[in-house]
Chains A and B, each alone.
Chain A
Amino acid sequence: MKKIYIIIISFLFIYKVSYCQTQQGNFVVSGETNINLLFSNLDPRMESGSDNKVTSRDYSFDVRLGYFVIDHLAININALYQYSYYKKQLYQGSREEDIQTTLGLIPSLTYFFPVEGKLKPDVSLGAGYMALKERNNQVPTPDNVAYRYGGLSLNAGAGISLFLNKNISFDLNFQYSRNKLNDQIGNGSPQLQNIFGVMAGVSVYF
């Protein structure tokens, strides 16, 4: 009798642990969620003593957050902003300055298949907006804009998660992205991107 109780209790415990990560009301955050500010100074030195310093600033903000609206179905938001600036001394009195910015806002849905055990397969679909821009003072265009693209990004993915415990999973995902980015500075030439990726990472649930 005691054995049966232990089995039932352990079953309930294991079931609860393996089930509760993706239940309604929980949040999931990708381990890659981060905010970084980086200031760098690169000093190349020749043995002759001449030098050409490069100073740079990089800011990045990457948030990947999901909320389980019902059991196993999460609504996610992936927000990305990257700013990258460098200043390089070219020759006497002349310098190059360059700024690149990337912006992405991609809502998505992820469904976890409720299978038993610690492994759960999932599928994701997302659609959002992406924008890329570069300014360089060596480019002879109005406002020194080298390019400015913006447009729709469509994403589909499938993957599998290994739940280490109720808070952590290791993830392996296959993702396909199709982006159609329109040139916004004149000739209107669109840029079509087809991207296939295999990604591994961690996620946390709370």
Chain B
Amino acid sequence: MKRIMMMAIASICFFTASAQTEKGRFALSGNTDMSLMFAKTSIAVMDSTGDGKQNSRAFNANAGFAYFVANDLAVGITGSFQYTKMDADNAIGYLQNYTAGIIPSVTYFFPLKWNLKSNVSVGAGYAWYFASDLDAEGLSLNVAPGISWFVNRDISLDLGVQYTYSNLKTTSDLSGLTYRQQALGLLAGLSIYF
């Protein structure tokens, strides 16, 4: 009887461990956030020009969202938008820029022991960069292997490596300038599941 109880408890534990990434659940990156900031900075300058003032406005939104279409397989979308506007009474002057990106991706989780799951994510999307002196946009590709430790059914701590390749073309002139960016990142954060 005791053995059956132990097996039942163990199977519950297994169910809990495998339930995080089962079909029909959602995953949300802990980094998902939205902020709107208004800042006013006064710089007391000790010369004849008097006080310098700087007003800035920033809007920032990041979202990483996925849906498990099958057990351990999630289809997701990562989106980010950053806007900054600054008006300063100094050499910086007026500055306005924004960046945006939207990257659909597919992630597969490989169950391991002790509530650990390795995963690999592949994504392709589009990125925009607009600044006072540069407008560029283009394709962004990324691949990200990682490992997640599931604290419980709802939370995981994640560690991953991400490689991103972007090919951006200028849109503001006919210079034909292209920007090829390669980025390698080591990222640690958390995700929630519901």
- A interface list, Cβ under 8 A from B: 29-47, 164-165, 167-168, 187-202, 204, 206
- Docked Cα-Cα span, A197 to B192, in Å, equals 25
- B interface list, Cβ under 8 A from A: 28-46, 151-152, 154-155, 175-190, 192, 194
Q: Using A202-B28, A206-B155 as known contacts, say yes or no to A194 and B39 having CB atoms under 8 A apart.
A: yes
In contact, B154 and A29 (Cβ under 8 angstroms): no
In contact, A168 and B179 (Cβ under 8 angstroms): no
In contact, B36 and A197 (Cβ under 8 angstroms): yes
Q: Which of B44, B152, B154 contacts A190 (CB 8 A)?
A: B44
- Docked Cα-Cα span, A165 to B192, in Å, equals 11
- Docked Cα-Cα span, A33 to B155, in Å, equals 13
- Docked Cα-Cα span, A43 to B166, in Å, equals 10
A32 contact set on B, CB distance < 8 A: 30-31, 33
Closest-CB distance, B139 to chain A (whole angstroms): 15
Question: Main SS of the interface on chain A?
Answer: strand
Q: List 22 A-B contacts (CB under 8 A).
A: A31-B29, A34-B187, A34-B190, A35-B187, A35-B189, A36-B186, A36-B187, A37-B185, A39-B185, A43-B182, A45-B178, A46-B176, A46-B177, A47-B177, A189-B44, A193-B39, A193-B41, A196-B39, A200-B34, A202-B28, A204-B30, A204-B154
Question: Main SS of the interface on chain B?
Answer: strand
- Docked Cα-Cα span, A37 to B186, in Å, equals 5
A197 contact set on B, CB distance < 8 A: 35-38
B34 contact set on A, CB distance < 8 A: 199-201
In the A-B complex, list the 10 residue pairs whose CB atoms are closest, starting with the nearest. Answer: A31-B30, A201-B33, A47-B176, A40-B183, A34-B189, A38-B185, A37-B186, A35-B188, A197-B37, A199-B35
In contact, A34 and B41 (Cβ under 8 angstroms): no
Find the B residue at minimum CB distance from A192: B42
Find the B residue at minimum CB distance from A58: B185
Q: Using A31-B33, A167-B152, A200-B35 as known contacts, say yes or no to A36 and B185 having CB atoms under 8 A apart.
A: yes
In contact, B194 and A165 (Cβ under 8 angstroms): yes
Closest-CB distance, B50 to chain A (whole angstroms): 11
In contact, B175 and A46 (Cβ under 8 angstroms): yes
In contact, A44 and B33 (Cβ under 8 angstroms): no
In contact, A164 and B194 (Cβ under 8 angstroms): yes
Q: Using A31-B192, A165-B194, A168-B155 as known contacts, say yes or no to A40 and B38 having CB atoms under 8 A apart.
A: no
Find the B residue at minimum CB distance from A205: B155
In contact, B152 and A39 (Cβ under 8 angstroms): no
